[in-house]
Amino acid sequence: LRYMAAVKGLRGPSAKRRVEEMLDLVNLADAADRRVGGFSGGMKRRLGIAQAELADPSVLVFDEPTAGLDPKERVRFRSLLASLSHDKIVLLSTHIVSDIASVADVVLMMRSGSLVHSSSMDDAITALDGKIWELETTKENAARLMGKLTVLSVDAEGTKTLLRIASDGKPARGARPATASLEDLFLLHFNDRNDC
């Protein structure tokens, strides 16, 4: 961090103070004298945030920041990103939808270099109200329905199969309305079985 501070033009007592602030921010003060090679993946990611935040930029960009982290480190990382976003723009590029759902204000989805969705988080979910359904059925019927409907996910539950379906109206007898999620929106745009 001291080296990165120098690279970013920070010098003397202000650099020392900023490095200490960053170590506290990312909860690495106790590991300040350890070699980075011995850090866990989560610790390395937090160190990366500290390095990026040293010069207090107005925009931070993270690419797949929680990939490979255990659940505890992912939660810690998301909390850190949320705290950073209070006074700056944080762009988070990821396929891990739960990371976005817990911290994002605005959702942008791109496919093949083109923007396919842009909205506030609330509007993204509200747009799907009444369009997400669940249907418990047999494995055989599930296979038949998958060719006819926009099936977002399939879960085996014992001898039954639970389908999550996107449809403007009730897609099949026995289907019940389900609470929409950001994952549903993602699957609508990136499900190869439909044209969205």
Residue 30 is predicted with a pLDDT of 93
- Supply the residues annotated as catalytic: 64
Once rounded to an integer, what is the mean pLDDT over residues 44-52? 91
Strands 89-93 and 106-111, how do they pair? unpaired
DSSP one-letter string for 84-143:
HTTSSEEEEE-S-HHHHHHH-SEEEEEETTEEEEEEEHHHHHHTTTT-EEEEEE-HHHHH
Contact (CB, 8 A) for 43 and 28: yes
The vertex-89 CA angle with 84 and 94, nearest 5°, equals: 85
Cβ-based burial of 132 (10 A; exposed 0-12, middle 13-18, buried ≥19): buried
Please check the confidence at residue 165 and state whether its pLDDT lies above 60: yes
pLDDT in tens, 15-32: 999 999 999 988 899 999
pTM, 2 dp? 0.71
pLDDT in tens, 101-135: 878 889 998 888 899 899 998 898 898 999 999 99
Residue type (1 letter), 185: L
pLDDT in tens, 137-156: 998 899 899 889 999 999 98
